Amino acid sequence: MTAASLPSVRGRLTADAPLAPLVWFKTGGRAEWLFEPADGEDLEAFITALPPELPVRALGLGSNLIVRDGGLPGVTVRLGKAFSTVTVDGNWLLCGAGAPGILVASTARDHGLAGLEFLRGIPGTVGGAVRMNAGAYGREVADTLCDATIQLREGRVRVCDVGALGYRYRHSDLPDDAIVTGCSFYATPGDKAVISAEMDRIAAEREASQPLRSRTGGSTFKNPPGLKAWQLVDDAGCRGLMVGGAQVSEKHTNFLINTGTATSADIEALGDEVRARVLANSGVELEWEIERIGKFLEKAA
């Protein structure tokens, strides 16, 4: 498909765009098309006019994601500055989906609003957090989200309240091709010093316990009910386990890291090997928390 056969845009539309620089693992293939819309109207017009058979996928900061080595077919949408604003209206925070979680938490703090400190510990954008009901340090998005604005594939824009999103642990009922473009959170008045201290505590705990300086994808597996994924991985003898250039972190065993030469196939194979060893050791079947998307790379004959 050529650029001439796609709808015109005011933003940027790039063919055969490399995605590895855009995700935390720094691995993966290319996007057939990468679209960075100028604003919501640009996105809506483009999505509405796209051929219905062309896949569409949103990409945030790529912090909890494996893009497979064969890349992504269709259109990958990446929301930029126009979708990265955070404004305060009373006790409400109105956020673009491209805003990082840390910006939301910091803005709430600066206005003396509490309840969003946990977003300091979640890498990635608000859009990704809303999609997966991200959580950390005892709270999750479902606890404080009011509503989300969703660009649907058929062209409609819908505002969904939190009850319509079908939230469960690290999951929502949003279709894969629906794009979160914004949301609103509700916070409560609090003491700035107390809020700041809690955010500092979260930041220090992350620094001490997680391999933040490595090429990683965040928390790899969901915690089974009443259990900790990292402990199950550790008990199965997987600390430091490697497949190709991918390794189970020595610092936190629910993190996989790219030691510098890993492919996405290495990382995914390592995750599956860890799941198999945990199942054999404990009888518990770990579920992926990291999303894995795209095509596997076809091997030469």
Q: Which of 106, 184, 219, 264 is catalytic?
A: 219
Is 205 part of the annotated catalytic residue set?
no
Q: Which of 140, 198, 268, 289 is catalytic?
A: 289
Q: Which residues pair with 92 in a beta bridge?
A: 89, 186
Is 219 part of the annotated catalytic residue set?
yes
Collapsed DSSP state (helix, strand, coil) of residue 192 = helix
The beta-strand segments (E) located in the chain are: 12-18, 30-36, 56-59, 65-67, 72-78, 86-89, 92-96, 113-114, 135-136, 139-140, 145-151, 157-161, 179-186, 188-189, 215-216, 242-243, 246-248, 256-258, 291-293
Collapsed DSSP state (helix, strand, coil) of residue 153 = coil
Is 170 part of the annotated catalytic residue set?
yes
Q: To 10 degrees, what angle do helices 101-110 and 192-209 make? A: 150
The answer to whether 176 and 126 have CB atoms below 8 angstroms apart is no
Find tokens 């894969």 and name the residue: 176
Containing H/E element for 104? helix 101-110
The answer to whether 182 and 188 have CB atoms below 8 angstroms apart is no
Q: Which of 170, 215, 275, 277 is catalytic?
A: 170
Other Cβ atoms closer than 10 A to 102: 16
Tokens of 248: 């189970």
Q: Which positions ≥6 away from 133 have C-beta within 8 Å? A: 140, 141, 142, 165, 167, 168, 169, 170, 171, 172
Catalytic residues: 170, 219, 289
